[in-house]
Structure 1
Amino acid sequence: MQQQYFNHPLSRTPPSESDLTPFQSLPLDPIEPDCTSLLSDKLLLKILSKLPVSQHVSNSLSVPQSHRFRPRSCLYSDAEKLWHISDPQDDVDTNYTLDGFLGKTTFLPSNEVDQGLTSIAEKYPNLQRLVATGASEQGLIRIAAECCTLQELELHYCGDLALKGLSGIKNLQVVKLIGFIDGFYNSVISDIGLTQLARGCKRLVKLELCGCEGSYDGIKAIGQCCQMLEELSFYDHRMDGGWLAGLSFCENLKTLMLKSCKSIDESPGVDELLGSCLTLEELQLERCQIRDKQSVKALFLVCENVRAIAFQNCWGLDNDVFSLASICRRVKLLSLEGCSLLTIKGLESVVLSWKGLQQLRVVSCNNIKDSEITPELATLFSVLKELKWRPDSRSLLSSNLAGTGMGNRGGRFFKRSRD
Structure 2
Amino acid sequence: MRFARIVCCLWRLFDRGVKMLACGCPNLRKLAVTGVSELGVLSVAEECLTLQELELHMCNDDALRGIAACTNLQVLRLVGNVDGLYGSVVSDIGLTILAQGCKRLVKLELYGCEGSFDGIKAIGQCCQMLEELSICDHRMEAGWLAGLSYCENLKTLRFQSCKRIDPSPGPDDYLGCCPALERLLLQKCQLRDKKSVRAMFMLCEGVREMVFQDCWGLDNEMFSSASCCRRVASLSLEGCSLLTTEGLESVILSWKELESLRVVSCKNIKDSEIPPSLSTLFSVFKELKWRPDTKSLRPSSLLGTGMGKKGGKFFKRM
Counterparts of 1:235 and 1:221 in 2: how far apart (Å)?
Answer: 19
Question: What whole-Å deviation, never above 9, does each CA across 1:358-415 have from its counterpart, x for those lacking one?
Answer: 000000000111111001010000000011000001111249xxxxxxx851758999
Instruction: Provide the C-alpha distance between the structure 1 equivalents of 2:23 and 2:166, rounded to a whole number of angstroms.
Output: 44
Match of 1:229 in 2: 130
Matched, 1:174 2:75: yes
CA contact (8 A) 2:239 2:266 kept: yes
Given the superposition, is the C-alpha separation of residues 368 and 127 from structure 1 closer, same or farther in structure 2, using an over 3 Å criterion?
same
The structure richer in helix per residue is 2
SS of the residue 1:130 aligns to? strand
Offset, 1:114: 1.0
Deviations 1:11-61 (A, max 9, x none): xxxxxxxxxxxxxxxxxxxxxxxxxxxxxxxxxxxxxxxxxxxxxxxxxxx
What amino acid is the match of 1:127? L
* 1:364-375 to 2 correspondences below 5 Å: 364-375=265-276
Q: Give yes or no for the alignment of 1:200 onto 2:101.
A: yes
What is the aligned-residue RMSD (CA, Å)? 2.2
1:309 maps to a residue whose letter is M
Which residue number corresponds to residue 88 of structure 2?
Answer: 187
* 2-structure distance, mates of 1:307, 1:343: 23
Tell me the TM-score normalised to structure 2 length. Answer: 0.92
Per-residue CA deviations over 1:133-172 (Å, capped at 9, x if unaligned) read 1100011111111111000000011210110101011100
Offset at 1:291?
Answer: 1.1
- Aligned amino acid, residue 19 of structure 2: T
Distance 1:200-1:387 versus aligned 2 partners, 3 A rule: same
1:123 is aligned with what amino acid?
G
Task: String of CA shifts for 1:277-335, please: whole Å, max 9, x gaps.
Answer: 01100000111110100000000011000001111111111100000000100000000
Task: Provide the C-alpha distance between the structure 2 equivalents of 1:350 and 1:188, rounded to a whole number of angstroms.
Answer: 39
Structure 2 gap segments, 5+ residues each: 1-5, 301-305
Consecutive aligned runs of 4 or more in structure 1 exceeding 4 Å deviation: 105-108, 410-416
Question: What residue in structure 2 maps to residue 112 of structure 1?
Answer: 13
1:414 to 1:182, Cα distance in 2 relative to 1, 3 A: farther
For the residues of structure 1 that align with 2:118 and 2:313, how far apart are their CA atoms? 47
Paired residue for 2:176, among 261, 272, 275?
Answer: 275
| Alignment map for 1:236-385 (pairs within 5 Å) | 236-385=137-286
Deviations, residues 194-252 of structure 1 (Å, cap 9, x unaligned): 11111111110110011000100110010111111010001100000011100011011
Structure 2 counterpart of 1:363, one-letter code: V
Q: Does the residue aligned with 2:289 lie in a helix, a strand or coil?
A: strand
Which residue, out of 2, 15, 25, partners 1:124? 25
What is the one-letter code of the residue matched to 2:308?
R
Q: Would you say the 8 A contact 2:298–2:314 is kept in 1? A: no
Structure 1 residue 216 corresponds to structure 2 residue 117: yes
State whether residues 386 and 414 of structure 1, in contact with CA within 8 Å, keep that contact through their aligned partners in structure 2.
no
Q: Secondary structure at the match of 1:141?
A: helix
Q: Which amino acid aligns with 1:272?
A: D
Q: How does 1:44-193 map to 2 (within 5 A)?
A: 109-193=10-94
Q: Is the 8 A contact 1:384 1:413 kept in 2?
A: no
1:387 partnered with 2:288: yes
What is the CA–CA distance in structure 2 between the aligned matches of 1:309 and 1:414, rounded to whole Å? 28
How far apart, CA to CA, are the structure 1 residues paired with 2:297 and 2:282?
A: 15
Equivalent residues of 2:58, 2:80 under 8 A apart: yes
Which range is displaced more, 239-248 or 121-130?
Answer: 121-130
TM-score (norm 1): 0.70
CA spacing shift, 1:333–1:155, aligned 2, 3 Å: same
Q: 1:345 to 1:363 in 2, by over 3 A?
A: same
* Aligned 8 A contact 1:108 1:134 in 2: no
Aligned length: 306
Secondary structure of the corresponding residue to residue 308 of structure 2: coil
Contact 2:283-2:311 within 8 A present in 1 as well: no
User: Contact 1:385/1:413 (CA < 8 Å) preserved in 2?
Assistant: no
**1:266–1:279 Cα change, 3 Å:** same
Q: Which amino acid aligns with 1:386?
A: E
* 2-structure distance, mates of 1:349, 1:413: 20
Contact 1:384 1:414 in 2 (8 A): no
Distance (Å, rounded) in 1 between the aligned partners of 2:128 and 2:235: 28
Amino acid at match of 2:74: Q
Q: Deviations over 1:165-202 (max 9, x none)?
A: 01011100000000011111110000000111111111
Match among 379, 391, 409 for residue 308 of structure 2: 409
1:114 and 1:149 map into 2 onto residues whose CA distance is: 20
